[in-house]
Chain A
């Protein structure tokens, strides 16, 4: 157990210190939402229709960005061999790494989400809800993404493969999360949609470490 905890702490430090691992996803998230009014038109009705959906798509794609390097660096420098050769469960490693990266990147994504939400004409009183929904949604996107990250770890330019493998797994989170955002935007009840998003996230957190671990064991074989 001390193994996974120390890996978690190490990954958190590496993510913060290594030139800001969150900068690229957060920048992408902000940029994608910022240019939306230029594409769909800045009429309030247009943004009300497109805004929540675009924001949720942007969150999903921003969460995909760090996935290519999630396990690849450790595979290339032999760290994964050292972990596996010491008898620690790969499940713990996969969970610790994904969780640390979600904290380092998912939380910054959630923090800037209300700004983007208001920019896309979402009601400001729903800001706290948007933060919560982004936290839950990015957790789901990160953990499902880790399966793709494990499968593509041994490949050069595995990013495209990660997207192909992961996007179908994103569908439930996509549907329920976007539904919750639209409900909040129109002042309707969003609780059930958010709970279903949470269920998808929990399913991802619970199952993805096992799938990612299996993929990683194959990658180092």
Chain B
């Protein structure tokens, strides 16, 4: 992906509705997010923040409505424009931290040196040879953040990225998000507690709910 298409990317969500079983979590959601913007998803547990993120990531099918990533005049709904960090860290217990970081670098077709830099950045220097099962919850989360850094992609979809992180780790996520936005990236994050500076907010629990008949 070229730099120009990164900066001109736009996410449009039109009349989106999400359902789980027979319950409509929310409907009639409209928003538009441009390059450099971030959106915080707020709302109580079970209001549909994670589901919304999964829909935006293409993992879960929406009940109705449309999600469009468009930029540089062409549709980019092939998934190559986004990173999704769910509440599960995708950390393998038997692989060392360094192996997993290197795996993600190779997975995205990058050089392994990128993974080493990313590990330093997320504060895992000195923990390279620790297997996944020996990492704390916060360290696992930091290892998940490595995915964002090894491959630059314009859209970050983060599901509670600061969960399990210490104060320094929360600061790190805030910094990464700010840098990403400064480069023209966009961030959508479900978050509790302190948010990101200059971020728009969407209260998912304020959206209309319903039931399927």
Taking Cβ atoms with an 8 Å cutoff, the residues of A that contact B are 2-3, 6-7, 9-10, 13-14, 17-18, 76-79, 81-82, 84-88, 220-221
Q: How far is the CB of B108 from chain A (nearest CB, A)?
A: 7
Q: Is the CB of A82 within 8 A of B147?
A: yes
Beta-carbon contact of B106 and A2 below 8 Å: yes
Residue B193 at the chain A interface, CB threshold 8 Å: no
List the B residue with the shortest CB-CB distance to A76: B88
What does DSSP make chain B's interface, helix, strand, loop or mixed? loop
Q: Are A85's CB and B94's CB within 8 A?
A: no
Assembled-state Cα–Cα distance A14/B95 (Å): 8
Considering the complex, which residues of chain B in the window 84-117 have a beta carbon less than 8 Å from any beta carbon of chain A?
84-95, 99, 103, 106-109
For residue B83, CB closer than 8 A to chain A, the reply is yes
Q: What is the CA–CA distance of A150 and B92 in the complex, to the nearest angstrom?
A: 19
* Contact status A6-B103, CB under 8 Å: yes
CB pair A85 B59 closer than 8 Å: yes
B103 touches A77 (CB 8 A): no
Which residues of chain B are near A81, meaning CB under 8 Å? 57, 59, 84, 86, 88, 90
- Is B78 on the interface with A (CB-CB < 8 A)? yes
- B178 within 8 A of partner (CB): no
Closest to B76 in A: A87
Least CB distance from B20 to A in Å reads: 10
B-side contacts of A77, CB under 8 Å: 88-93
Min CB distance A28 to B, Å, is: 22
CB-CB under 8 A from B147, the residues of chain A are: 82
Residues of chain B having any CB pair with chain A under 8 Å:
57-61, 78-95, 99, 103, 106-109, 147, 157
A13 to B131, CA, bound (A): 14
A sample of 17 inter-chain contacts (CB < 8 A) reads A2-B106, A3-B108, A6-B103, A10-B103, A14-B92, A14-B95, A17-B94, A77-B90, A78-B87, A82-B86, A85-B59, A85-B82, A85-B86, A86-B80, A86-B82, A86-B107, A220-B59
A87 touches B108 (CB 8 A): no
CB pair A88 B84 closer than 8 Å: no
Inter-chain pairs besides A7-B107, A84-B57, 7 sampled, C-beta below 8 Å: A10-B103, A13-B95, A81-B59, A82-B85, A85-B83, A221-B60, A221-B61
Q: In the docked arrangement, what's the CA distance between A3 and B110, Å? A: 10
**Residues of chain A within 8 A of B109, CB atoms compared:** 2-3
CA distance A88 to B85 in the complex (A): 15
In the complex, how many angstroms separate the beta carbon of B189 from the nearest chain A beta carbon? Answer: 14
User: Chain A contacts of B79 at CB under 8 A?
Assistant: 85-88
Complex CA–CA separation, A86 to B109 (angstroms): 12
Complexed CA–CA distance, A78 and B50 (Å): 14
Contact B59 A84 (CB under 8 A): yes
Alpha-carbon distance between A59 and B122 when the two chains are bound, in angstroms: 47
User: In whole Å, how far is A92's beta carbon from the nearest beta carbon of chain B?
Assistant: 11
- CB contacts (< 8 Å) of B91 on chain A: these are 77
Report the 6 A-B pairs with minimum CB-CB distance, sorted nearest first: A87-B79, A78-B88, A85-B84, A2-B109, A6-B106, A82-B90
Q: How far is the CA of A184 from the CA of B157 in the complex (A)?
A: 58
A7–B92 alpha-carbon span in the complex (Å)? 13
Contact B92 A6 (CB under 8 A): no
CB distance from A104 to the nearest CB of B (A): 14
Q: A10-B103, A81-B59 are in contact. Are A86 and B83 (CB under 8 A)?
A: yes
Q: By the criterion CB–CB under 8 Å, are B157 and A79 in contact?
A: no
Q: In chain B, what residue has the closest Cβ to A89?
A: B79
A19: nearest residue on chain B (CB-CB)? B94
A18 partner residues in chain B, CB cutoff 8 A = 94
